[in-house]
Structure 1
């Protein structure tokens, strides 16, 4: 039905609603609210009211579908349906819209129009034609309801209407099944004989990393326990031999290393990072940019600088490399001076200075070491006394004697998993930077897990049990961050960041999967890889930004201690004027698939730093489990200047069909999930 056109004046926005941005060709659902003289009328479309001039008399209260035929100078609408009665069936409404737009009444077109009518989503004739073709070619592997919802989201977010976007939005919107998808893909990969062995091994390694996001903590604890045993000389010869072999393999120590010379060898290899050398190199870089790679390497190898400190310095170095100038040199000099001024000499650096110092300079360095040890929070009183006593014997027993005492103390602390700072100190005593230390400890955990020695296997199991029993919120946060990093989420954006280490970014699952697609995998392996890439891309596409409003979606396939859990986080909030996330107002949804608690949703709302939690669960006894944790939650929030208003428990039910779609069941034998507390 093609009725007369309607010329519209300026829109009148209903208070509290955002004015609609109309585009030519859009089809909108609206109601004629009031009639005025001179054929003027007030039309409401969603929360927006428009004063319109009607060229054909109409009746107040009638609802129609309108098509935008012009936006300048005034918005012009054409009515594409007759009056829509509240009792009119969906099929009748669909028929009227299709006839008004002169579109074919195919099954796919009817499904699309019905989807948009139900959700009151503006659309255009051209979008409907594109969407119909996409729906027809989506194939039997895509559930039609999922495809329709995804197409609606594509139009809402103004995304490209193609098969890749459709798959990404479907996968990105899934609330579960990521762990299963990874397990299924791993099985396909292992059986694929067409794939390059190098690519296959790289992907299998990344899949192994995803299963062990706490390998760094496990590896550091294992290193501490092994070193502590060897330095204490309490074990039997067989025990010491097994531990020494485990350390050599895990930390890539020289073959000639043994329990008698390990401390001396580590002391001799302790790198000396001279502040003066770094400052001089920075100064000389203005006329000699060839030394900048050496300066970059010194930054990477610095034993105490954090990743953030290293990143800011690397950015300054990169600017100088790309565009050498006095301005960039001044920026680099200022950044180096800033970071050096904020850096206290690490124990490892003081020990390295002690090793190379003249005899007359050693008393001063020993005094600095004693003060640093006394102020070290990760050591207990007995350990501090032992080290300070060893420092007093340097003249008689040598510098390496003091180093051994320091190494033994931190090894003991790390082995007991009492402090994360002790782990960083141990890494620096092993001559490793923070980043290299993380990699070395992760390698130690992997090598120990593969070690055939019964002693090492028992040590791994004991340490895993200890780590699991003492799992903290920091460990859980680390596991989430490590998993997202290993997946390669937002890989493309990070590659554009010149401060990022490109080598690390390339060593992610997404980067390796993209390499796989350029190889010659089997069809099933290719489809599995495309599905996982679509999941990662979908999370980015659905993490939309609308002015100050922002939504972030993350799917995290958590795997720890051989247990598997799917977790989806959806954050909705706003930004402050300076572009940062507003921590005072937000809504965060956690969708969890848990073996013990089954499907669980946590809805957290923050208003003016007042937090309320609603837990939706299929289990009746969840209230008894949560009650003892309320006080801990309240105390934890108060530490960050938040107030807990309440924790509410509600039951929810999901239709069986939806549950099956979300879980995309692929049961694996003898594997159980682990319920984590967030």
Structure 2
């Protein structure tokens, strides 16, 4: 990534830091006002202090001061002569290095330059530590990244340790997580010291990250299987192969045959709790008991009519069958046959919806596959959860049975063609959850530990407690944890400003993409995000377009989008979507200012878009 883009990241939000002043730190300060009795107002960063002068200073002059003493007896010792604002940063750097008697190395000069430019408070001891760290950074890490990590250590008041330094470097790394996860997976498979149960749990966590649509794909596979089992065009041998797949995951009893796989195996029937939860399976099961049949048929009729997932054609077929059942006398052979046909038709309608609308939910937030699962588990009398869809996906992908392979391929194509903004949002949330991105934050909010423990991060932390694991496995696990920790540290509040970083290793049915997002914006007094002003930067590593950066700036609900890419062929494609984008943003009360294609090298640094900073005044007396 070019230095231009990197610099724009740093200046996306500007706000003066409220540093915690500590003994030994060297800080930049300006004499604002002189008062009688040798008193002066001195501003250090965002803090204004009343100081007692022991040496003559002039109002308007800036100096570097060294903090002496603790907070109770805070003093400022003049380190440099008055700094001329017209002098170059290099001149101020030289003066400060000479005053502190620092080594004249390239690393030290870079650190002090950053310190002067950003007005970072650092002690001489911290400067010497930072110099050593920069000398030891890996070749692939740029000097600018190391300097930014040092700056963040000071701004965030973190312990000045090599571990925190490397964590921050890792957190700002825009290289995707796919490479790290792949390396970890290889090391995991090669390490024979890991207990099989622990390795299995880690394998499962990695699979959930790499297959965000596993549940939806499983639902579409189930829809395909049901559709083919119900079709007269499917041969008996193919139906047997498909039926065996349902048996393997427990969706139908082991003794089920092609003639009775949809017949209820339940001998006792409990009444459904009307209006509570997903009840379609129990409702259909109740229809086989004629005592409440008329009442339940009416309830089913209303439920089907109001359902947002079913097609109009599917609803009509079900309603016609309901009308037919109503006109037949209960407990007759014709009535039993009609009830079975009705159950078959309801299952068919939701099976079709699980393929045509895999990412949609109804008013109760249930998906079509949830209804299919409800019907099959109720008829089977066996309680199954959503993990059955993952099992279906896994078994189907490995099956050597041609009809199962065909169902898998068709379902995969259906899911791929149905991916939309809802699916992308759902996948990103699922991947971040499976990685354990906000693991500690969720724990702090009282989330269920058992539910969080299946995610990758807590499993990596547990793995690192094992001293017997191979060095390669340990190193890759530490790198992943460090990356996640770094992003969390860099995501946080700074007064009214807020920054959020995240990386998502997207894998859509074999199509891989590493996506990083950085959001900068303001928080309102009520603690909510101010949607009127923000800056969002997307870093994408795409198969064809390669490295692409999308910089979206929002000023008073007016959006400007800059796309950085080296390809000259993008603009015609962008024009095709401009009106759709404009219309979509307008529906959300945003105005599109423009979409601009830019190269990395030629662009000047963008101006900061957020300049407000809270000013806090200290009433501390200090001695200069």
Normalising by the smaller structure, the TM-score range is 0.7 to 0.9
**Aligned-partner Cα distance in 2 for 1:576–1:271:** 54
1:344 offset after TM fit, Å?
7.0
1:403 offset after TM fit, Å?
1.8
* Counterpart mapping for 1:143-542 below 5 A: 145-251=144-250, 253-265=252-264, 268=266, 272=270, 274-275=272-273, 343=276, 346-355=279-288, 357=289, 359-391=290-322, 392-393=324-325, 395=330, 396-398=334-336, 399-417=339-357, 419-420=360-361, 421-431=367-377, 437-500=385-448, 502-519=449-466, 520-542=468-490
Q: Pick the aligned partner of 2:534 from 586, 590, 608.
A: 586
**Aligned-partner Cα distance in 2 for 1:649–1:102:** 48
Q: Please tell me whether residue 23 in structure 1 is matched to residue 21 in structure 2.
A: yes
Q: Are the structure 2 counterparts of residues 255 and 611 from structure 1 closer, same or farther at C-alpha, using a change threshold of 3 Å?
A: same
Q: Please tell me whether residue 68 in structure 1 is matched to residue 15 in structure 2.
A: no
CA contact (8 A) 2:212 2:507 kept: yes
**Aligned-partner Cα distance in 2 for 1:345–1:466:** 25
Q: Are the structure 2 counterparts of residues 93 and 491 from structure 1 closer, same or farther at C-alpha, using a change threshold of 3 Å?
A: same
Q: Structure 2 unaligned runs (5+)? A: 1-13, 362-366, 603-624
SS at match of 2:26: strand
Q: Residue deviations 1:363-399, cap 9 Å, x none?
A: 1111211222222232233322332343333733324
CA RMSD between the two structures: 3.5
1:426 offset after TM fit, Å?
2.0
**Aligned-partner Cα distance in 1 for 2:89–2:369:** 64
**Aligned-partner Cα distance in 1 for 2:368–2:268:** 17
* Correspondence for 2:591: 644
**Aligned-partner Cα distance in 1 for 2:555–2:168:** 30
CA contact (8 A) 2:377 2:384 kept: no
Q: Pick the aligned partner of 1:629 from 557, 577, 581.
A: 577
1:196 offset after TM fit, Å?
2.6
Q: Please tell me whether residue 612 in structure 1 is matched to residue 556 in structure 2.
A: no
1:156 offset after TM fit, Å?
1.1
CA contact (8 A) 2:42 2:51 kept: yes
SS at match of 1:56: coil
1:484 offset after TM fit, Å?
0.7
SS at match of 2:554: strand
SS at match of 2:377: coil
CA contact (8 A) 1:22 1:71 kept: no
Q: Are the structure 2 counterparts of residues 375 and 252 from structure 1 closer, same or farther at C-alpha, using a change threshold of 3 Å?
A: closer
**Aligned-partner Cα distance in 2 for 1:185–1:206:** 12
* Correspondence for 1:10: none
* Correspondence for 1:310: none
SS at match of 1:23: coil
SS at match of 1:27: strand
**Aligned-partner Cα distance in 2 for 1:170–1:436:** 44
1:526 offset after TM fit, Å?
0.6
**Aligned-partner Cα distance in 2 for 1:596–1:477:** 22
**Aligned-partner Cα distance in 2 for 1:195–1:105:** 49
* Correspondence for 1:558: 506
**Aligned-partner Cα distance in 1 for 2:515–2:268:** 42
CA contact (8 A) 2:558 2:593 kept: no
CA contact (8 A) 1:568 1:591 kept: yes
Q: Residue deviations 1:477-529, cap 9 Å, x none?
A: 111111111111111232344453x3331111112222321232210111011
SS at match of 1:551: strand
CA contact (8 A) 1:168 1:538 kept: yes
Q: Are the structure 2 counterparts of residues 651 and 251 from structure 1 closer, same or farther at C-alpha, using a change threshold of 3 Å?
A: farther
Segment of structure 1 superposing worse, 581-590 or 528-537:
581-590
Q: Residue deviations 1:574-604, cap 9 Å, x none?
A: 3344433333432221111122222222222
**Aligned-partner Cα distance in 2 for 1:510–1:46:** 37
* Correspondence for 2:606: none
Q: Residue deviations 1:62-88, cap 9 Å, x none?
A: 543122336878974221123445687
CA contact (8 A) 2:561 2:594 kept: yes
Greater relative contact order, per chain length (Cα 8 Å cut-off, separation 6+): 2
SS at match of 1:263: coil
Q: Are the structure 2 counterparts of residues 345 and 33 from structure 1 closer, same or farther at C-alpha, using a change threshold of 3 Å?
A: closer
Segment of structure 1 superposing worse, 523-532 or 461-470:
461-470
1:50 offset after TM fit, Å?
6.4
Segment of structure 1 superposing worse, 25-34 or 174-183:
25-34
SS at match of 2:541: strand
**Aligned-partner Cα distance in 2 for 1:273–1:593:** 54
SS at match of 1:262: coil
1:220 offset after TM fit, Å?
0.6
SS at match of 2:507: strand
* Correspondence for 2:546: 598
**Aligned-partner Cα distance in 2 for 1:560–1:365:** 42
* Correspondence for 2:8: none
CA contact (8 A) 1:610 1:642 kept: no
Q: Are the structure 2 counterparts of residues 200 and 270 from structure 1 closer, same or farther at C-alpha, using a change threshold of 3 Å?
A: farther
CA contact (8 A) 1:195 1:522 kept: no
1:621 offset after TM fit, Å?
2.1
CA contact (8 A) 2:180 2:480 kept: yes
SS at match of 2:28: strand
* Correspondence for 2:6: none
1:217 offset after TM fit, Å?
1.4
**Alignment size in residue pairs:** 569
SS at match of 2:413: helix
Q: Are the structure 2 counterparts of residues 188 and 54 from structure 1 closer, same or farther at C-alpha, using a change threshold of 3 Å?
A: same
